[in-house]
Structure 1
Amino acid sequence: MAELISKTELCAVPNFLPPDFERRLNRIFGSRPVGKFVRVLDLSGEIGSRTDNLEEDKIPVNKDLVREVVATGEIIFETQYPLGPKIPIRFINYPVKRFNQNKVHGVVQVGTSLEFVRESMRNLVMVFLVLGPSLLMAAALVGFFLAGKAFKPIREIARTTRHITVNNLDERITVPVAHDDIGQLAVTINGMLDRLSLSFQKTAQFTADASHELRTPLTIMQGEIEIALRGERSVEEYIDTLGSSLEEAERMSRIVNDLLLLSKSDMGQEAMQHDPVDLEILIEGLLSPFKLMAEEQQIELSSSLSEVDMVSGDQLKLRQLLVNLLTNAIRYTSAGGRVNLTLKNIDSGVEIAVADTGIGIPAADIPRIFDRFYRADKARSRQYGGSGLGLSIVKSIVNSHKGTIKVDSIVGEGSVFKVVLPSVNELSEVEINEK
């Protein structure tokens, strides 16, 4: 406002008081600004023009401040208390310049009372004093209600979790309808309980199977020894009994060693070598004893070995993998059958395939054949021997070498076990990408 007035005809002659000053303000602003005081001062601080609501002597002019505005040409604000210490009036002192000149020809003062501001603040304080406690109480009640509603799912999760034990791992937490963070927490805990339940089931099944596998040779040994002690036996009979007991003891030793191997693998405590391994040379060194084993059972063992890339791994464990696969293939193939071992490069690494024309595996049992002590046909499996841990060890070795294993089988026609191991080049590319 001060700037606009300073550039109008009202300031043309600062020492002259126009008789229609109010009318001219109305023409400029549309109406006189309510609560505003306007006056035009000359260079010495004398009043040239003013609004009717500003009595000449009621609000004195600070002539020192006017001279400072004239000297500096800057806008200066001031607060006066002419009507008492509780009624402040705020003024802006604006220099009047004409014709784009820097010279100051006068000063426009526009002021307004700050009483309404103080009154508004007093009213606001009263409102807060009157309504504040009620609002705080209402906010506390609403907050308590909302907090209780928000924490109810958490309390339900805590209550359900406290009641879940080893004996009722099938119990689950109710998932809230809202898909929020608490819902995600409930889903996560239920997933953890699913894994725990499956782990406990496998542990219980493993314990039962291990007990059974160890009890069988012990029962045989106990029976043979009891029979031998019932009466006098010939030396040959004692030798047969001791030989049979030794076989059962060796069987138990193999089971215990296999269990120890799997346990170390599960806990990550098994020592692993990572050396370049030539699978072609490794397989050629194994074929001779297995060909003799196959000939004894009237089984044809053949091989097709291509020159392949080196793989990075533990040679002893890879040898055990091959031994277990070939032993299984020969064990479950009848006389007159065939077992074939192939080795070749494929896009994803090096593939080892062991195919047989044996009894085959039912499709429903294929997903579980790598479980410990699992046998598709328990009666026939005991007939063929074995501890039921061979394929579990194979799977563990494949995983430790970052490989994959796949089984294709048809009952009565045979099975094909395919192991794919990453080559040294493949592993190097993966390590570079991970970095």
Structure 2
Amino acid sequence: MTKLSAKIWIFVLATMAVTILFMYSMTNYLYENLYVKDTEDSMIEVGSKLAQMYKGGKVTDGFVNDIDRYNMYSNSNVFAVRNPRELSACVPFDIDYDTLIGPEERQSLIKGEVLAKKGYESRFDRQVISVVIPLVDEQRLEGILYLYFPLEKITELASKDVVMMIVAALIFLILIGFVIFKAIALLLKPLKQLKAAAMDMAAGQYATRVDIKSKDEIGQLATTFNEMAQAIEDEDQRQKQFLENVSHELRTPISYIKGYSEAILSGIIKEEEQPEKLALIVREAARMEKLTNELMQLSRPAGPQGVLKLYPLPLSETIREVVVMLSQRATEAEISIQLHLDDEAVIMADELKMKQIMINLLENALRYSDEGTVIDVSSSIHGEEVVVQIVDHGIGIPSEDLPKVTERFYRVNKARSRADGGSGLGLSIVAQLVQAHDGRWTIDSELNLGTTITLYFPIVEEIE
């Protein structure tokens, strides 16, 4: 039995115990306040009406005989006596007269008050309720009417066959216990499935799913579990692919560096050819360093942005500095960069990260544009946003590749080498950095016509 099922059983048993206790208390309450009280009120009513037959003076034998005749047809026993001690000849049990009518009780009777008492009587083996009605004339107690009635027990009121009642109760408890057991097992079944699935997930079986079709909270939990399992499986696949891509990216430069280094050391490469090979080794080492830095950025817990230092930044000035940095590369590629910037555009940004965004985007534009083309870079204010556009007239991106360009190590142009095609991490870093600046971006492209990248950042309003 699991801990949860034990808790449910304890709850059910506690509920049943409270129910039984409540029913017992309610039964006693009804017994005392309905049956006993009703019997007492009925006896007082009958006794009060019989007392009206008394006309004063001494209690006559005729009055006593009339009461005796009524007693023959009454549910309760009623007697008329001149002295309470005469009751011993009338009732089949002993009476403590001092307790029944003591000094205080006598004064109450003289005032016309009715006495009602209840006590256990061994002669009847049950509680007996008695009522004393005074017969008073001129402040003198001439006699009393004494009524008594042996009360039935609760079990006698409930049923004459207590054994059958107990047997029926036991059968009911057994049946209800069996039903509860089955119900608990049915309720816990999906939870057991979830537990088994979670254990499989912990063991690395990320394809595990649970088949629970209910619409209740457990069904919702199962749906959430399946969605989580799908996300974990997808992330596991992405990580495996990521590691494969990293290994693939590093294998080529490592092989170049290792091969040419060994060749130089062994003397296979002639001395006049060594500078060229050393330059290749330096280039491949630089590629490894760049790739390593990009991977470190993407692997940080806070994302590639790390901890941003945001402050009002004149975006046009930042863009101009990046263009100056890339001007030599643009000249070598025979590509011109034209600027159309709004100097009033100010955003909250980290200057180094914003430069990284622009460098990555402009490097891509330079890398995939043909000689003699132009790259247009513009910034403008539209409402509450600063809009930056980078438009190239290069090879473009096929429509089927557009949704994937921000995936790590994804390359659109498979024909290009890794040396001139980049690492495939640049746009992934751009996407996360733009999001870190509360910005957004879009990519529109047509094959062989060019690509337009549009960035949107919240503007900083001027403070007067």
Residue range with higher mean Cα deviation, 338-347 or 58-67: 58-67
| Residue 191 (str. 1) matches residue 191 (str. 2) | no
Residues of 2 paired with 1:278 and 1:94: CA distance? Answer: 108
Q: Separation in 2 of the partners of 1:149 and 1:242?
A: 73
1:197-248, CA deviations, whole angstroms, 9 ceiling, x for partnerless residues?
Answer: 111111111111111111112233344446655546243x221111111111
**Is 1:150–2:176 an aligned residue pair?**
no
Aligned length: 398
- Counterpart residue number, 1:288: 324
The answer to whether the 8 Å contact 1:35/1:113 transfers is: no
- What do the CA deviations read for 1:260-317 (whole angstroms, capped 9, x no partner)? 1111155789333233333233223323333443343232322222255643332211
Alignment root-mean-square deviation, CA: 4.6
Counterparts of 1:408 and 1:76, CA distance in 2: 103
Q: Is the 8 A contact 1:375 1:381 kept in 2?
A: no
Distance verdict in 2 for CA 1:381–1:116, change over 3 Å: same
Go from structure 1 to structure 2 and tell me whether the alpha carbon gap of 1:171 and 1:308 turns closer, same or farther (over 3 Å shift): farther
Question: For 1:413, which of 444, 449, 458 is the aligned residue?
Answer: 449
CA contact (8 A) 2:434 2:440 kept: yes
Q: Unpaired runs of 5+ in structure 2?
A: 1-37, 56-62, 68-72, 135-143
Among 75, 82, 86, the alignment partner of 2:125 is 86
Question: TM (normalized to structure 1)?
Answer: 0.73
**Counterpart pick for 1:114 among 151, 164, 182:** 151
Calculate percent identity across the aligned residue pairs.
Answer: 28
Please state if 1:233 is matched with 2:270. Answer: yes
Q: Hey, what's the Cα distance between the residues in 2 that align with 1:402 and 1:267?
A: 14
C-alpha contact (below 8 Å) 1:332/1:384 kept by paired residues: no
Change (3 A) 1:390 1:91: farther
Match of 1:115, SS state, is coil
For residue 10 of structure 2, what is the aligned residue in structure 1?
A: none
Q: Which amino acid aligns with 1:330?
A: L
SS at match of 1:363: coil
Counterpart contact for 2:312–2:460, Cα < 8 Å: yes
Query: Contact 1:280 / 1:306 at 8 angstroms: preserved in 2?
Result: yes
Q: Which position in structure 1 is the counterpart of 2:371?
A: 335
User: For the structure 1 residues 39 and 124, does the alpha-carbon distance in structure 2 shift closer, same or farther, using more than 3 Å as the test?
Assistant: same
Q: 1:178 maps to which residue?
A: 214
After superposition, residues 212-361 of structure 1 pair within 5 angstroms as 212-225=248-261, 229=266, 231=268, 233-235=270-272, 237-265=273-301, 270-308=306-344, 310-347=346-383, 349-361=385-397
**SS of equivalent to 1:150:** helix
Q: How many angstroms apart in 1 are the aligned matches of 2:443 and 2:110?
A: 100
2:180 corresponds to 1:140: no
Give per-residue Cα distances to partners, 1:22-68, cap 9 Å, x unaligned. Answer: xxxxxxxxxx9x9578999xxx99xxxxxxxxx98789995568667
d(CA) in 2 for partners of 1:109, 1:412: 120
Contact residue 69 and residue 94 of structure 1 kept, 8 A: no
Deviations 1:89-108 (A, max 9, x none): 4468999xxxxxxxxxxx99
SS at match of 2:270: coil
